[in-house]
Chains A and B, each alone.
Chain A
Amino acid sequence: MARRENPEINAGSMADIAFLLLIFFLVTTTMDVDSGISKRLAEKPPKNYEPPKIKQKNIFEISINRNNQLFVDGQVMEMKDLREAALNFIDNGGGLGNAKEGEEAKPCDYCQGAKDPESSDHPNKAIIAVESDRATEYGTYIVVQNELLSAYSELRDRLSQKKYNMTYPELEEAFKASGRKDESLRKKVEFIKNSYPQIITDIEPTDVN
């Protein structure tokens, strides 16, 4: 009897099996990169800590009530106007800023605001305080935070464009690309950051029942 050769294994269905697995992984994969608004909490104050006195005009008070309505510096405001109002407040530059080490307090020479004496003195003195009710919706709170941050990023962008001819994100990107080592870039980033520091605080929520 002649020795028969081994028949070839039919691999035609291999593709089908692979496709099945492929589709399973295609469906279960989520490609989302986690992103979010980053915040830094203030450290716990030591006992009998006295908060520094801050002039009322340097505080931008935002309150959100439980019906998700906005009150800004005592007036009702619509969400779409918040950004503009915050921008004007930060960029006002009506007086002298906080003195840096070894330097005298200087007025804000890069601000383009109205220099209204009733509004903030300097971006590094301008404090934005967000107060919300316990029952305020989280979504609304995020919208407010987002509007404030976008006001800051517009100001930073503007200054960065003017001084270094590149936007602030580009500047940060370049600094990161250098492995956070390039000293001149570091100085530039720090300068922009310190020119418009983001001072946004959360006041503990009020409980109105």
Chain B
Amino acid sequence: MAKFGKKKKGLPPVSTASLPDIVFMLLFFFMVTTTMRETDLKIDSPRLPSASEVKKLEHKSLVTTIYVGKAKETGKYGTGFNRIQLNDKIGTPDQIPAFIENARSKVSETEVPFMTTSIKADKESNVGTLADIRLKLRDVNALKLSLSTQKGDAIKK
């Protein structure tokens, strides 16, 4: 009796050996889905207006983005909401044709007509800036445009 006495006391501990596996699985998922921002924003992240009639932007590789908003370096560029960012620096509308040509050179010729320009502009920026951009885009025949918005109700009730 003494020799074969029950040694077990209570439940055995739950094995957590597979916990790292599960965590790694999640980790890989997030590593794969994460896209790091390609360009440094030189302007404050634009507060996009909201709208309900939106379309999703497809074919990320065919999208060129123009940011419009307030410059981070307010000393250099002032506090207006109408600075335009092309690539990594703040530019003027006159540089847009070159910017578009540059983007075009990266895709094959057959895909050029499907290229879209996405404008991410701050709510408080002015229509005048948009109009300047529009004119320059028309000059280089970049006619597909997407005015980036959040999804939501446009009119605040």
Contacts and interface: CB of A to CB of B under 8 A. Distances in A.
A39 B56 CA distance: 13
B138 A36 contact: no
Interface stretch (B86-94, B103-111, B141-149): B141-149
A143 B131 contact: no
A167 interface: no
Chain B facing A: main interface SS:
mixed
B126 A135 contact: yes
Interface residues of A, number: 50
B30 A22 contact: yes
A36 B134 contact: no
Nearest to A134: B128
Contacts, number: 158
Interface stretch (A52-60, A106-114, A147-155): A147-155
A156 B137 CA distance: 30
B143 to A, nearest CB: 4
B24 A37 contact: no
A139 B56 CA distance: 19
A145 interface: yes
Interface in A19-50: 19, 21-22, 25-26, 28-31, 33-44
Contacts of B31: 25
Interface in B10-35: 16-17, 19-20, 23-24, 26-27, 30-31, 33-35
A44 B30 contact: no
Interface stretch (A97-105, A115-123, A187-195, A199-207): A199-207
B84 interface: no
Interface stretch (B1-9, B47-55, B71-79): B47-55
B100 interface: no
29 contacts: A14-B20, A15-B20, A15-B23, A25-B27, A26-B30, A28-B34, A29-B30, A34-B60, A35-B148, A35-B149, A36-B51, A36-B54, A37-B149, A38-B145, A38-B146, A39-B145, A40-B143, A40-B144, A40-B145, A42-B138, A137-B124, A138-B126, A141-B130, A143-B51, A146-B52, A146-B149, A150-B53, A153-B53, A205-B131
Interface of A: 11-12, 14-15, 18-19, 21-22, 25-26, 28-31, 33-44, 64, 79-80, 132-139, 141-143, 145-147, 149-150, 153, 202, 204-205, 207
Given A33-B56, A35-B56, 10 more contacts: A18-B24, A25-B31, A37-B146, A38-B144, A38-B147, A136-B127, A137-B124, A139-B123, A142-B147, A143-B49
